[in-house]
Amino acid sequence: MDRSAYDQYFALEEKHFWRVARRTLVLELIEKHRPAPGPLRLLDVGGACSLIPKEMQRFGAVTVIEPDAATVEFSRHVLGLDVRLGSLPDQLPVAGPFDVVTLFDVLEHIDDDAGALQAVHPLIRPGGLLLLTVPAVPLLWSSHDVSVHHKRRYLRDGFERLLVDNGFRIDRISYHTCLLFPVLAAQRLGDRFRGTDPHAQYSVTVPAAPVNRLFAAVMEIERRLFSRFDLPIGSSLVAACTPIPLG
């Protein structure tokens, strides 16, 4: 990501309605799909500037891989995380097996997303959990995607096929950020109408407090729906998977 994105990303984690909602969602999914009781060994790839790995420590020991050296140092000293400099698909300075591997908004940054999945597959123990999120719906492509160096956005069918073709059984897959999808779609399509800026910088900020509270309440309603149903559309996709033995 651009330096401007890294500088703002962590501050958003604590207050932005979407960041808080996503963190709640993935922690609940880890709890629901955890492969075993008791302390787990967890690996997060690419989330050193978020609060998710820190909160994942409730489940056990967490190791984080991060491609940005400055963020590695920040997370080590400020968040107290075990963070190692590396990247997918071929610079993974860890040895498995891990009970849980997480990739939150990571695959869309990688040219070879299939190779990235093949690289993490042997790091997950038999019966373990791979939990992922990716941005969804290519129609939403805008300057925002450019600013964070996205390579693509996904549709459910293609994302599901990508996971299955690279050795994973899907236990749960659903869109996320469904109820606010019309608001987001209007914003992103308006951006496209004005013309995508090839030099765009990260511009997400915490909304005004009343709006942030309102959207947080909407996301809480969605969380309750998500706990019971797969959602039909959304700006993100989330999947919980189990590795299938290869060969």
| pLDDT tens digits, one per residue of 82-136 | 999 999 998 899 998 999 999 999 999 999 999 999 999 999 999 999 999 999 9
Which residue ranges make up each domain of the chain? 3-243
Residue 192's nearest CA partner among 246, 139, 113 is: 139
Three-class SS state of 206: coil
Q: How far apart are CA 205 and CA 222, in angstroms?
A: 22
CA–CA dist 65, 44 (Å, integer): 6
pLDDT at 156: 98
Higher pLDDT, 10 or 89: 89
State pLDDT tens for residues 126-143.
Answer: 999 999 999 999 999 988
Choose the CATH number for 3-243 among 3.40.50.150, 2.30.30.90, 3.40.50.2300, 3.40.50.300.
3.40.50.150
DSSP 157-193: HHHHHHHHHTTEEEEEEEEES-TTHHHHHHHHHHHHH
205-217: average pLDDT: 95
Q: Is the pLDDT of residue 8 over 70?
A: no
State the chain's mean pLDDT as an integer: 91
Say if residue 73's pLDDT is above 60: yes
Q: How confident is the model at residue 79 (pLDDT cuts 50, 70, 90)?
A: confident
Q: Is the pLDDT of residue 4 over 60?
A: no
Cα 19 from Cα 17, distance rounded (Å):
6
> From residue 32, how far is each of 49, 176, 190, 191, 241 by CA, in Å?
25, 17, 38, 37, 12
pLDDT of residue 78: 79
Mean pLDDT throughout 208-220?
Answer: 97
Is the pLDDT at 200 greater than 90? The verdict is no
Is the model's pLDDT at 202 over the cut of 80?
Answer: no
H/E element, 83: strand 82-85
Over 80: is that where the pLDDT of 201 sits?
Answer: no
Please compute the mean of the pLDDT values over residues 168-182 and round it to a whole number.
Answer: 98
Confidence of residue 56 (pLDDT cuts 50, 70, 90): very high
pLDDT top residue among 205 and 154: 154
Residue 11's pLDDT is 73
| Alpha-carbon gap, residue 68 to 3, rounded angstroms | 10
pLDDT at 185: 93
Q: What is the pLDDT of residue 233?
A: 98
**Per-residue pLDDT at 39 exceeds 60:** yes
pLDDT of 17 strictly over 60: yes
Helix/strand/coil percent split, the chain, to 5: 45, 25, 30
Q: Which pLDDT score is estimated for 5?
A: 55
pLDDT at residue 198, rounded to an integer: 65
List alpha helices for the chain, DSSP H.
3-15, 17-33, 52-56, 69-74, 113-120, 143-147, 156-165, 181-194, 209-226
Q: What are phi and psi of 112, to 5 degrees?
A: -100, 80
